[in-house]
Amino acid sequence: MTDSPFQKTTLPGGLRVLTEHHDGVSSATLGLWIQAGSLFETARETGLAHLLEHMVFKGTKRRSMTQIAAQMDVLGGGMNAFTEREFVCYYVKVLSDDIAPALELLCEFATQPALDPDLLEIEKGVILEEIRAVEDTPEERVEDLFLSAMWEKSRWGRPILGAPKSVEKLEAADLRRFMGKFYAPQRTVLVAVGNVRHEKIVQMAQKWLGDLPGDQRSNAASPATPKVAAHHTVLRDETEGAHLVIGTRAYAYDDPRRFAAWALDSILTGGYSSRLFQEVREKRGLCYSIGGMSQSYRATGYWAVETSVAPQNAAKTAQLIGKELRKVKSEGVRAGELKRAKQMARVNLLLGEESSSAQMGRIARNELYFGRQ
């Protein structure tokens, strides 16, 4: 055995197993990450990756939906999943004594989902309600509109949840076809953090993930991103407020300049002393909150400022944001601002490392984007 808390093993099919052992804890966080997010859907399949993520909880070839729910309750650690543009992740936090049954269930999700057609129709209804909830939440809808405008006519700009017309037409055969192409070992990373033993996790992965259905020839690279042109999109509805997102294309995950984008996000919108919080809220009272978004992917990223204001203040607020951005471009940032941004980043990173879920995500993304830690 090695003395290092971090270990990595690549199985013959290409599946990677990564563990980080922590002494003095009685729990473990397990995450099964697969490069099978919404970017890999065709236009007709929009929303499929997210629907599939839901459907695996509705039964496997070995367990019914009720049995899965009962097992999740017994484990008690909160088993869940999420879908991003590049990845889908199935994860759970459990007591270390329960690692084996928890991991077995996660692996069943990825290898043996039942995809019952009747349950699929029911779950499509759940997804349609989720889509409607976003459409009725201006703060979420405006983000989708921003990305759709920036990455127009591209899979990058499609909403992860999908559109009602595409979700309604999806069938079990579509989900199986998608799994057969993208749920492949070379696209999969299993991460375990906490009171874990690497060799045991590897043995369980060999046993339960040996029959991943995906095509081993499937290319794991993310699709190329389109060029970004300036857009000005206005959607009028009956909400009382105006919701703004102003942003642009930013840096990929492997581009060191993304750290500068994070620092700029902090300087402009991070905390009470940030420029835009002071200018827009404190000095003029135009909004309650103003925040930033800085997101990086394998091939691209985006950076934006978002806020909600009274409709009559929308133009004025947009002008103030633009003015501050131009000021940064022409004058740069002050030394004190940069120092504060670095300290905030340090605090956030260190506090995040106290969460085993955050550690699991950090290990997975570093492996998937860089192939290293």
One digit per residue, the tens of pLDDT, for the chain of length 373 reads 456 799 999 999 999 999 999 999 999 999 999 999 999 999 999 999 999 999 999 999 999 999 999 999 999 868 999 999 999 999 999 999 999 999 999 999 999 999 999 999 999 999 999 999 999 998 899 999 999 999 887 899 999 999 999 999 999 999 999 999 999 999 999 999 999 999 999 999 999 998 787 776 666 677 777 777 777 777 777 678 899 999 999 999 999 999 999 999 999 999 999 999 999 999 999 999 999 999 999 989 999 999 999 999 999 999 999 999 999 999 999 999 999 999 999 999 899 888 999 999 999 999 999 988 7
Identify whether residues 164 and 255 lie together within a single domain: no
343 falls within a domain: no
344 falls within a domain: no
In this structure, are residues 107 and 15 in contact, taking their beta carbons and an 8 Å threshold?
A: no
Identify whether residues 67 and 150 lie together within a single domain: yes
49 falls within a domain: yes
169 falls within a domain: yes
Identify whether residues 301 and 168 lie together within a single domain: no
In this structure, are residues 151 and 95 in contact, taking their beta carbons and an 8 Å threshold?
A: no
Identify whether residues 207 and 79 lie together within a single domain: yes
Identify whether residues 360 and 277 lie together within a single domain: no
Structure confidence at residue 83 (pLDDT): 98
Residue 112, CA distances (Å) to 60, 101, 269, 342 in order: 5, 15, 45, 46
Identify whether residues 258 and 205 lie together within a single domain: no
345 falls within a domain: no
Sheet holding 301-309, edge to edge: 242-250, 301-309, 287-296
Identify whether residues 119 and 56 lie together within a single domain: yes
pTM: 0.92
Query: DSSP class of residue 262?
Result: H
Identify whether residues 265 and 191 lie together within a single domain: no
Number of compact structural domains in the chain:
2
Structural domain boundaries enclosing 112: 6-218+355-370
Identify whether residues 162 and 290 lie together within a single domain: no
Judge whether 135 counts as a catalytic residue: no
Structure confidence at residue 312 (pLDDT): 94
Q: What span, in angstroms and rounded, lies between the C-alpha atoms of 111 and 130?
A: 26
Identify whether residues 185 and 269 lie together within a single domain: no
With a CB cutoff of 8 Å and minimum separation 6, the contacts of 163 are 46, 47, 131
**Backbone phi, psi, residue 233, to 5°:** -110, 130
Structure confidence at residue 223 (pLDDT): 78
193 falls within a domain: yes
Candidates 287, 300, 281; CA nearest to 244 is 287
User: How many other β-carbons are positioned within 10 Å of the β-carbon of residue 90?
Assistant: 22
Identify whether residues 123 and 263 lie together within a single domain: no
350 falls within a domain: no
Q: What CATH number is given to the structural domain containing 20?
A: 3.30.830.10
Identify whether residues 30 and 143 lie together within a single domain: yes
> Which residue out of 53, 279, 306, 324 is catalytically annotated?
53
Candidates 177, 198, 218; CA nearest to 16 is 198
In this structure, are residues 226 and 75 in contact, taking their beta carbons and an 8 Å threshold?
A: no
Tokens (6 digits) for 158? 């499609």
109 falls within a domain: yes
